Amino acid sequence: MTAYYTITARGPTKSEIRIDGPIGESFFQETTTAKQFVADLAKIKASEIDLFINSPGGSVMDANAISAALERHPATINVIIDGWALSAASLIVMSGDTVLIGERAMLMIHNPVLFANGDAASLRKTADVLDKIKSGMVGSYDKRMKIGHDAVSKAMDEETWYTAEEAVGAGLADSIVQNSVLPSAAPEQIKNSFTRIPAAFATYFNKPEETPMPVTTPNNAAIAATQAAEIPPNTPPVTATAATPAPAIAATETVVVTGRSDEEISAIVSASLKAERQRLSDIRAAFAPWVRKGYDLTALQTECEANGLAMTDVNAQLLAALGATATPLASPNQGQAVAESAYAAALAAFKSIHPKMNAAQAESALLAEQPQLYAAYLAEKGASNGR
């Protein structure tokens, strides 16, 4: 799965951040959220940060929070618009101490948009909220444009798109850099909030009708469901024989979806992304209590997330790692002490992963999943009976 921002150290005093994609929480895809971005930004100790932005926009509230965090950070922030910075993404641009824009890039400002329903009174309140949000946006833009709030408000009303030259002329950027990248993809819900997309950039909002879409599936069950959806009706079954075995598909292998409608592709992608997000959430929940206790498990957690491991495999690797780091107990029988300690650590880890199990259920399930711990289990029970 693609992450929409990355942070890279470029030496002892400089870091690089790249934001590539939508801003704000999304159920359907990975995005740059304020909560995670602000937390990661706080860990950067560099005195200078190059922030590359290539985003079609998204949530104004998330953009405001990200912008405020960048302004609070003690580092010098150099913003480079790489592709485009539209809508909410342009607010993040305003946090830069310097702003550069790629020669092929664009920047766009417009009024905030909110999809709402309700009676007349509630819709009036929604309009009042939008006016207040716009007021804050106007102030942010005018710090650079210096043309007065009324003139900035008019530019937002007209959904103004700026080329690199126009952005520099308007004060939204300081200078132009060469060799910028192509704009990042814009989701349908963001596209629908724009009204004056320049013809030269309209192509980045349109999906080619027959272009295969890669879908990274999180597990074999999702792969099987996708493959089943791709088999046309009345297709004779294919039987795998010993001479022609059916090819195995890895958990993270890319499946190409072709010849499907937009709705079918969207459903497949949404199901895959939802399952993958849940897998990552489960992995982080399993590792969190042990990381808080000081165990150095970062490399293993990253490996489990990147390799697409199912939770059964993740739990096995986590328990093995905890058992390997167990400290021997002071005892005349050192081998027994090591076994006891390894089993105790493994059982504690298993209980934290499965909090609803009672002690007996946890022991039974652990031994069924990790039979190599049975000797340690016997050593633990023997020591308990002797105490």
Domains in the chain with CATH codes:
5-205 (3.90.226.10), 213-235+249-292 (no CATH), 298-386 (no CATH)
The 10 Å CB-count burial string (b at 16+, else e) for 236-253 is eeeeeeeeeeeeeeebbe
> In the prediction, which pLDDT does 332 show?
44
Residue with more model confidence, 273 or 346: 346
Virtual torsion, Cα 306, 312, 317, 321, nearest 10 deg = 130
Which amino acid, 131?
A: D
Model confidence pLDDT, tens digit, residues 240-271:
434 434 333 333 333 444 455 556 655 665 66
Which amino acid, 7?
A: I
> In the prediction, which pLDDT does 378 show?
67
pLDDT at residue 170 greater than cutoff 90? yes
> In the prediction, which pLDDT does 27 show?
45
> In the prediction, which pLDDT does 256 show?
43
Rank 30-44, 132-146, 199-213, 349-363 by mean pLDDT and report only the highest.
Answer: 132-146
Query: Of 156, 152, 150, nearest to 142 (Cα)?
Result: 152
**What's the predicted TM-score (pTM) here?**
0.50
pLDDT at residue 217 greater than cutoff 90? no
Beta carbons of 373 and 324 less than 8 angstroms apart: no
The owner of tokens 């190409």 is 256
Q: CA–CA separation, 367 vs 360, rounded Å?
A: 11
Give the tokens for residue 29. 């895809």
Beta carbons of 49 and 146 less than 8 angstroms apart: no
Q: CA–CA separation, 226 vs 230, rounded Å?
A: 6
Which of helix, strand or coil describes residue 25? coil
Give how far Cα 197 sits from Cα of 3, 191, 371, Å: 26, 9, 61
pLDDT at residue 199 greater than cutoff 50? yes
Model confidence pLDDT, tens digit, residues 56-78:
888 888 899 999 999 999 999 99
Confidence of residue 162 (pLDDT cuts 50, 70, 90): very high
> In the prediction, which pLDDT does 275 show?
74
pLDDT at residue 50 greater than cutoff 90? yes
Model confidence pLDDT, tens digit, residues 109-160:
999 887 777 788 888 888 888 899 899 999 999 999 999 999 999 999 999 9
pLDDT at residue 367 greater than cutoff 70? yes
Beta carbons of 62 and 23 less than 8 angstroms apart: yes
Mean per-residue pLDDT, 220-230: 47
> In the prediction, which pLDDT does 66 show?
92
Which of helix, strand or coil describes residue 82? strand
Rank 148-152, 197-201, 253-257, 301-305 by mean pLDDT and report only the highest.
Answer: 148-152
The owner of tokens 């305003």 is 94
pLDDT at residue 327 greater than cutoff 70? no
The answer for residues whose C-beta is within 8 angstroms of residue 102's C-beta and 6 or more apart is 80, 81, 82, 83, 164, 176, 177, 178, 179, 180, 181
Query: Of 230, 219, 203, nearest to 273 (Cα)?
Result: 219
